[in-house]
Amino acid sequence: MQLLSHAVLTVSLVASLLWGLIYSHCVRMALFFKIVLFGEGCILLGELFTVAMYVCLGETEVFHLGMLGPVGCFVFLFSASFGQIDGLGDDRNPRMRRFRLIPLIFPTLYIGLYVLDILSPVHLSVKIIHTFLLLLIAATVYYNFKHLIIPDVTYGIFKSMRKYNLLVLCISALFTVRVLFSDYGINMAENIIVLLLAATFLLLLPITAGGSEMVHMIYLMFICIGAPLLLMLFLLEKQSRVTVGYMILGIVMCLFAGEVNALLMQLLRLNLQYAAVSLTPITEEIIKALPVLFYAFVISEKWERLLSLSMALGIGFAIMENVYVVTQNIESADVLLALIRGFATGLMHGICTATVGYGISFVRKCKKLFYTGTFGLLLVAVIYHGIFNTLVQSPYQAVGFFMPIVTYIPVVVYIIKKKIKIK
């Protein structure tokens, strides 16, 4: 389970860094953004080392180089808030004295955490690195809390950074708890913390870049939806856990696809309407197919599992997409829109992904057919998706909304009959 949680965090960091690198390439970003980007890079390198260590050597209770990843991250996060940025708000005037003193409560609290770390039963090398990490976290928390409460006298700079400050405080708290859980061997709780960190790091760079209110809201919605589902995973049986896990993965894939679509629209200079019928069906179906292909190659190629997992992934994708659409149209949204989007779009994404998953279970068995078959399945999903998007933007909107429902009913009947026949 520890390996899985670290792998999820690694994937989250890769997605976040790819977005950050492409975004910084398209838009000239300030040094502050680049510093935070380097911080995430340190975490990613640390997680890659940790995953490699688990795979190659198994778990270790002594210091390893992967532990330096968080240290490097907080070196950069501290550097981002220290110095020039801090000087913009604090000119050492006596009236600013209380804003320098109040945040000192956090480093004071961390003294108790140092004691808990020292008293923990872990190896001395781990205690040393964790103490050093807690010191950096304490310094980072001090400056981010200070910038959160300091009066904004610099043309809105600190006001625009407050969401970033809050998120860094959240990340700092999660890392602090993770250190203590790791010290005392509370592995299950530590895994949950690692998964929550995966969600928060998806937010960090968009917020640092000063993304729109809409982007912030969507990511916050993701946390609200994803966090309870993650907590539920540990209460389920293995098979159900994988299915729900793929639904969560579908939500993550939707966020990733949204960022990819936004960047491609910017690079290709496409408007939203044209992109919906020509671009998004391609990118979204390819992105959704990747976890299904991974499962078919690495774990199992049984059609029953691939069908249910791909359907769950598609439904998860649709959940996040529907949240985005309803939030975007909040003034005109009503129960009818929610019901239509819930059933129609949910089924559309589920059917498209399930088509690929179900088909792969058969083409995977024939090497000569695999590549052409997979490509053909993707084309079917892309074209079906494109037809749906075209219809719902046209005067024939009702036809588009009923199309997935009409498709779904005979498919369900076929699958039920097939299962009965097998039994």
Please indicate whether residue 53 or residue 76 has the higher confidence score (pLDDT): 76
Evaluate whether 371 touches 350 at the Cβ level (below 8 Å).
no
Q: Check pLDDT > 80 for residue 259.
A: no
Separation of alpha carbons 90 and 103, rounded Å: 13
Of 314, 296, 307, the residue nearest 257 (C-alpha): 314
Q: Check pLDDT > 90 for residue 90.
A: no
Q: State the residue for tokens 């592995």.
A: 187
Give, rounded to a whole angstrom, the gap between the first and last alpha carbons of the chain.
33
Q: How far is CA 82 from CA 74, 176, 341, 420, in A?
A: 12, 20, 46, 66
The full DSSP string for 246-287 is HHHHHHHHHHHHHHHHHHHHHHHT--HHHHHHHTHHHHHHHH
Residues 6+ apart with CB under 8 A from 16: 40, 201, 202, 204, 205
Instruction: Count Cβ atoms within 10 A of the Cβ of residue 269 and give its class: 0-12 exposed, 13-18 middle, 19 or more buried.
Output: exposed
Mean pLDDT for the chain?
Answer: 80
Q: Which two tokens stand for residue 345?
A: 């779009």
- For residue 30, name the pLDDT band (cuts at 50, 70, 90): low
pLDDT in tens, 319-361: 888 887 776 666 666 677 677 777 888 889 988 888 888 888 7
Q: Supply the pLDDT for residue 45.
A: 92
pLDDT in tens, 371-380: 788 888 889 9
Separation of alpha carbons 49 and 423, rounded Å: 46
Average pLDDT over residues 26-46: 80
Q: Which two tokens stand for residue 207?
A: 């917020």
Q: Check pLDDT > 70 for residue 299.
A: yes
Evaluate whether 78 touches 140 at the Cβ level (below 8 Å).
yes
Evaluate whether 225 touches 251 at the Cβ level (below 8 Å).
yes
